[in-house]
Chains A and B, each alone.
Chain A
Amino acid sequence: MSFDPNKSRAYVILFAAGVSGVFTAAIMALHVATEPIVERNERLLTERAIVELFGLGDVGQLSGDETEALYDRRVRRATIAKGTPEEMEVLLAYSQDLPSDAEGDPGDKARLKGYGVPIRGVGFWAVIEGYLAVTPDAARTLGIVFLRHSETPGLGGRITEDQFRRWFRPGGAHEDGLNVTPPPQGEPYIDIGPPVETTAPRDDRHVDALTGATGTSNAVADFLNEDLARFRRALAAEGLLPEVP
């Protein structure tokens, strides 16, 4: 006599509950087993991106442990303009190794390689996060990195590709990086738009927008300009820059 799984209502309920329990347990076990690896890899991915952003080492040649060690020796987080409305946490990248117990000093311009300004805003689909690296005098960009985004791969997702990021790097599209000194009244720090073939003075603030991803390009331009303005106000509040008019 063959077994008919459709006859008993109790069997249907037990089967559904049993199958759900077994498969859920299997997924939970896999999640628990891989959680430490996932956490370490995500941290490493961020550290690798920041080491590469400031040009602290050749990430292609460094192992995971070497990258972590280099990050620990050269990068610090610091809060500037503490206790003021302009308070903000930035990354400080140094050109020399720091003692392991040394805290970051945003005013140590002799050893400072650059600031990592946190950038964050809503892209075409969801939140985009990353860092914009700027020189210690906050006049030029050193690079940009996007750590989190949900833009369409191949369209807005190309913000993570070298073709877009090179605009922000010295020796890339602009010899000295982008100019991020205060712009004339009413104009943006960084202009992301259609390609321009001109040698007008504002050229060193220009970045070519991504073809087919106007929404993402505009969103990035908006939050970059807002975050840069906020960063300069924070530096001014910390006494590291003259007051912004």
Chain B
Amino acid sequence: MPPQNAPTPMQALREQIWGENPIFRQVLGICSALAVTNRMFNTLLMCGGLMWATTMSSLTVSVMRNYIPRRVRIMVSVLIIAVYVIVVDTVLRAYFTAVHKDIAAYVGLIITNCIVLGRLEAFASKNRPLASLADGLGAGIGYSIMLLSVALIRELLGFGTLFGYDILSGPMAEYNARWVIMIMPPGAFFVLAVMVWLSRWWDLRRENAAEAAREAAK
């Protein structure tokens, strides 16, 4: 039986995209956020892989939740995640061989990404399949939005390009300072920290405005 106050699929989706965003609220999956975000293209592929893994493993665990013994639930969850990640890896190897050579190391790391296992444990193992699917998809989207935002800043400032296309050349060349630190992992620390700060500041501002409105209504 799902919990009494089980969220609807839409609530679960929305919550993971913003309210409980895995990166800036839960601070999960930071390792890949640091590693892959100096190129938009690599980040996009990583996000696609993670979105597939969280969505499908959440759905599978939810469907099987009433049959999985508690004692082996982590083993089963990791097995399910690994299967979906191997599917991504195999499909990339078969149909996008060149791309696979670039990002194979990171695809394998999705198995150990705490977001995926975290959603299975916290949500999919207790809720209905559709809500779990939405929760997994929302976590993937929330992760992707943050990572792509970080990658956008890092690639633009580090390489002067976006998706490999020269942006800061020609008349824009004078703005192309090429910050080496943006290419390197410490650059992700700075960008991510600023983004977490900005998003929390935005949330706090909204909460304060809501509070003020409530006070005024009294």
A interface residue numbers (CB < 8 A to B): 3, 5-6, 11-12, 15-16, 19-20, 23, 26-27, 30-31, 34, 37-38, 41-42, 44-45, 148-150, 152-155, 157, 160, 211-212
Which chain A residues border B42 with CB–CB below 8 Å?
153-154
Complex CA–CA separation, A218 to B79 (angstroms): 40
The reply to whether B38 and A155 form a contact with Cβ atoms under 8 Å apart is yes
The reply to whether B68 and A5 form a contact with Cβ atoms under 8 Å apart is yes
The reply to whether A19 and B98 form a contact with Cβ atoms under 8 Å apart is no
- Which positions 74-132 of chain B face chain A at CB distance < 8 Å? 75-76, 79-80, 83, 86-87, 90-91, 93-95, 97-98, 101-103, 105-106
Considering the complex, give the chain B residue whose CB is closest to the CB of A162: B164
When A12-B72, A23-B83, A26-B83 are in contact, do A3 and B97 touch as well, CB less than 8 Å?
no
In the A-B complex, list the 7 residue pairs whose CB atoms are closest, starting with the nearest.
A154-B38, A34-B94, A41-B97, A12-B69, A37-B94, A5-B69, A154-B39
Considering the complex, give the chain B residue whose CB is closest to the CB of A149: B101
Complex CA–CA separation, A103 to B70 (angstroms): 65
B176 to chain A, nearest CB (A): 13
B84 to chain A, nearest CB (A): 10
The reply to whether B76 and A6 form a contact with Cβ atoms under 8 Å apart is no
The reply to whether B72 and A155 form a contact with Cβ atoms under 8 Å apart is no
What are 15 A-B pairs at a CB distance below 8 A? Answer: A3-B66, A5-B67, A6-B71, A15-B67, A15-B69, A15-B76, A16-B76, A20-B79, A27-B87, A31-B90, A38-B93, A38-B94, A38-B97, A153-B36, A211-B180
Which chain A residues border B158 with CB–CB below 8 Å?
154
Which chain A residues border B101 with CB–CB below 8 Å?
45, 148-149
The reply to whether A153 and B79 form a contact with Cβ atoms under 8 Å apart is no
Considering the complex, give the chain B residue whose CB is closest to the CB of A49: B98
Interface SS majority for chain A: helix
Interface size of B by Cβ–Cβ distance < 8 Å?
37
B49 to chain A, nearest CB (A): 14
Considering the complex, give the chain A residue whose CB is closest to the CB of B75: A16
Complex CA–CA separation, A44 to B159 (angstroms): 30
Which chain B residues border A150 with CB–CB below 8 Å?
105
The reply to whether B103 and A15 form a contact with Cβ atoms under 8 Å apart is no
Complex CA–CA separation, A160 to B95 (angstroms): 20
Which chain A residues border B159 with CB–CB below 8 Å?
154
Indicate with 1 or 0, residue by residue over B10-38, a CB within 8 angstroms of chain A CB atoms: 00000000000000000000000001101
* B184 at interface, CB cutoff 8 A: yes
Which chain B residues border A157 with CB–CB below 8 Å?
102
Considering the complex, give the chain B residue whose CB is closest to the CB of A42: B97
Considering the complex, give the chain B residue whose CB is closest to the CB of A153: B42
Which chain B residues border A38 with CB–CB below 8 Å?
90, 93-94, 97
When A15-B67, A150-B105 are in contact, do A30 and B180 touch as well, CB less than 8 Å?
no
* B51 at interface, CB cutoff 8 A: no
When A30-B87, A34-B93, A155-B184 are in contact, do A15 and B72 touch as well, CB less than 8 Å?
yes
* B183 at interface, CB cutoff 8 A: yes
The reply to whether B97 and A45 form a contact with Cβ atoms under 8 Å apart is yes
Which chain B residues border A26 with CB–CB below 8 Å?
83
Interface centre among A45, A148, A211, A212 (most CB of B within 10 A): A212
A95 to chain B, nearest CB (A): 27
Considering the complex, give the chain B residue whose CB is closest to the CB of A46: B97
